[in-house]
Structures are given as structure tokens and as C-alpha cells.
Structure 1
Amino acid sequence: MGTQSYRHARVEPSGSSPPAVRSCRARRLLSAAGWLAVGFGTVHTLAAPLHPGRPRVWAETLSRGPWRTISLEPTDDALRHAEAFWVGPGSFGPPTALLGALFLTGARDGARVPASVAWGTLAWSVALTALLPKSPAWASLPIGPMLLLSRRGHDRGPRG
């Protein structure tokens, strides 16, 4: 009796198969949303430490040690270190890039993004853009609608 990996077996615990892809359009939309999320998260994470004044703060943070300078309850002196962390690697950038990588894997495997993730991504990007209209947050706006449209290209599974 041979063993099969989950990737090849594609059997859900309930015994039903995941929703089948009806068109390449769903995969293209999901892939495009994934690349946008990876790009948005990566650029944010890499660009934030380069903001004017932050390279000096990061140099000081690393020389003094992050565990000494970054805190959830920073003193007035350590506030710039905490702010640099929460705007850069501690921000939404890394998780957004990782979520984008998950979308890319789903596009490759023909998986369907849950409606809650698609709607949540849309709500988050709209709120982010409304709160920070002069920021690059607008680049996140197409991700949610692309995820919602990619769901239309799948056959409905047991739970729709």
C-alpha cells in the first residue's frame, strides 16, 4: 500500500474533494492578488527602514540591542526605536507578503480563498486607504475584489 501526500491526494477530512476550478481566470485573478500582496508587503517592509532618519535609528537599535531598545511600553527616549520597529518589520508588511504567498500557492493548486478572507482583505484595505489617503495604501485596494472575483471561477463545494 503506497502513501500519497496531501497535495496529490487532495481529499478533505469530510471525504469530499475541494471545489474544482472552472476557468483559468480564477487562477489568474488569485495569482495577481497574490503577487500584489507579496509586492505590497515586501515593499512596505523594506522601504520603511529607509525613511529619512530611520537608518540612524536602526543602526543605534542594532548596536544597543533590540531587546534593550524595542518595547511595548517605551520610554520617551526609546519611542523612536519602538516606532521604527512597528512601522517596519513589526508592521502588517510581513504578514501581507506571507498571505500573498499563500494566495499564490492556492492559485497554483486550484484552491479557493474563503469568503471571509476575501471580504476581510477588502475591508482592511478600504479602512487603511480611508485612514491614510496620502499613503501608498491605495495599492492594496485591488486585492480584495480580485479575491472575490476569483471565487466566482470555482464550482461550489459542499459549503458554497
Structure 2
Amino acid sequence: MPDTELPIFPAPRAPVPDFDMPASRNRHVSLAGMRGRPFILYFYPKASTPGCTTEACGFQEALNALGATGIPVIGVSRDAMKAIDKFADAQGLDFPLASDTTGTVTEAYGVWGEKSLYGRTYMGVERATFLIDAQGRLVRAWRKVKVTGHVAEVMKAAEAA
């Protein structure tokens, strides 16, 4: 993608892009499989890195509260399943972490783009979270997420949805 801006994700209540991916602990996640219940789909840059570990552990800690609302969580990265399984096991993550090695899903959700770190530009996954309703429509999107306080904000929105 030559442009440094990431694509604009559809407006609230627009249908979200389809997905179908392998996930941690020999699971499989798909939009079709989630129909009939709202859920949280979050994208993270790389398994076992400090920010991604903090975010994943935050969602794990919130699972009881999220479970009370009936809203499951799915994490997505472009890591291979081996790295994802190692990450999930090391952190005791019960929710599925999906592998999008082809980049099809990260691109469809507009979270793959040019990033910059210490003056170096590269392509990578933008940390983002999407709250999706039971019909597969976008309720709310959080883009360029800062980890601190993010899970609490998502939980509050999920409870209100």
C-alpha cells in the first residue's frame, strides 16, 4: 500500500468483512461461526511482545466480566500458529488467538499498513479492536489503540451495546 493512511473501515452498523482462520489450541474461528452473538475482534502486531502481552492478559482478566455480557473475544495477528500457540500457553489465554499468515483478514479490516519506529518505516499490523454485533455488523471500532485502559473501555462499550 503506497499511501501511509490505512483504509477507512466501514461505518457503524455496516457489515464487517468475512473471516475464517485457524486459532490457538486447535480451534477455528469464522464470522459464520460467530453469527447470532456479538463479539470482540482485536488485532495485535506480534505475539509475545510486551504491549501485545499486556493487551492479551487484559482481555483474559476481563473474560469473566465479558462472559457475563455474553461477548467472546478473538485476537488476530499475522504470526504462524506455532508462535501463537506458544504465546497462548505461556500467558494462559483461554480465548482464541487466530493466525492470519496470508494477511487477507488484516487487510480486509484495514489494519495492515505502513508504520514507523525510530525513523524506520515498515509494513505492519495496527493495534485495533472491533465490537461486532450478532448480525456481523460493526458496532464500534478502536483504531491505533494504546494498551493502557483499552480493555476497560471496550468492556464498557460491550456492556452498553
TM-score range, shorter chain: under 0.3
Q: Report which structure shows greater RCO (CA 8 Å, sep ≥6).
A: 1
Report the structure, 1 or 2, having the larger helix content.
1
Bigger CA radius of gyration: 1
Q: Which is richer in strand?
A: 2
Q: TM-score when scaled to structure 1?
A: 0.23
